[in-house]
Amino acid sequence: MEKISVAVSGAYGRMGREVCRAVLEEEGLELTGAFDLHGTGKSMGEVLGRPDLDIVIKKLTKESLKEISPAVLVDFTTPMAVMQNIEIALQCGVRPVVGTTGITNIDLSHINQWVEQSELSAIVAPNFALGAVLMMKFASIAARYFPQVEIIELHHDKKIDAPSGTALKTAEMIAAARSTDPPEKDELLKLPGARGALQDKIHIHSIRLSGLVAHQEVIFGGQGQTLTIRHDSLDRSSFMPGVILAIKSVPKLKGLVYGLENLIP
């Protein structure tokens, strides 16, 4: 069977390196390109400790992407760069798999237009950890039975955006599952933001500390009881099974797929 050729944007970063390793180790996939604004000109083989790997890190442009013409571009960059990267990929006939967070609903609308124009497909996922996807599914089930809920998301101190894409997606799924809105109540906030941010009438609290990777808990409250659903990614390798699933799925799809839950039964 012909291998799926894969390039990685953000390859010099921690997540990008992990994706490169996962692609190299996965049967049926072939790493053919590495892009990043940092580490440009460096050997990806040296970065990964793989002297047999003859790939040089380049800046992502239409010309540099067309030069290798991969089937899939995996993007783990920044909210400031991701939209341009997706547009370049689709203009070059390459299907993007995007794990970069900070993508808004307006951004998703633009991506959907680009995907339709290209007649290709794209996958954008707030979280590639399969456990996190199940956590969101379980939360949407619990939302039917508990009138109150709050979300606490915890990430490493290098994460730029807040709240996380996972928290926003979780709030969206909970709101869609609810039969009624929670009752309004008066609150006296002694400090601005003390109750966190509001999304779909759900309070979201963001924590950024060194030593963390990616964690989230959804706390439900009901009469005389609480229910907590928590997921912890303790290492970046936890995201790789989901990334591999997306890479192998995207060539078979049409249109934009938002959320890894759409790829698992």
CATH number of the domain to which 46 belongs: 3.40.50.720
How many independent structural domains does the chain possess?
2
**Stated pTM of the model:** 0.85
Helices (H), 148-215: 165-177
Q: Which stretches of the chain drop beneath a pLDDT of 50?
A: none
Residues 257 and 152 in one domain: no
Residues 68 and 157 in one domain: no
Residues 120 and 39 in one domain: yes
Residues 90 and 167 in one domain: no
| Annotated active-site residue in 155, 169, 215, 231 | 155
Residues 56 and 119 in one domain: yes
Active site residue 155: yes
Residues 140 and 82 in one domain: no
Q: What is the predicted pLDDT for the residue at 185?
A: 80
92 vs 38, 65, 68, 249, CA distance in Å?
23, 7, 11, 19
Other C-beta atoms lying within 10 Å of the C-beta of residue 38: 11
Distance in angstroms (rounded) separating the CA atoms of residues 83 and 75: 10
Q: What is the predicted pLDDT for the residue at 264?
A: 86
Q: What is the predicted pLDDT for the residue at 179?
A: 78
CATH number of the domain to which 207 belongs: 3.30.360.10
Residues 90 and 61 in one domain: yes
| Annotated active-site residue in 42, 110, 156, 159 | 159
Active site residue 215: no
44 vs 23, 31, 53, 84, 146, CA distance in Å?
13, 11, 7, 23, 49
Residues 40 and 110 in one domain: yes
Q: What is the predicted pLDDT for the residue at 181?
A: 79
Residues 9 and 62 in one domain: yes
Residues 105 and 227 in one domain: no
Residues 160 and 106 in one domain: no
Residues 100 and 211 in one domain: no
| Containing structural domain, residue 107 | 4-124+236-263
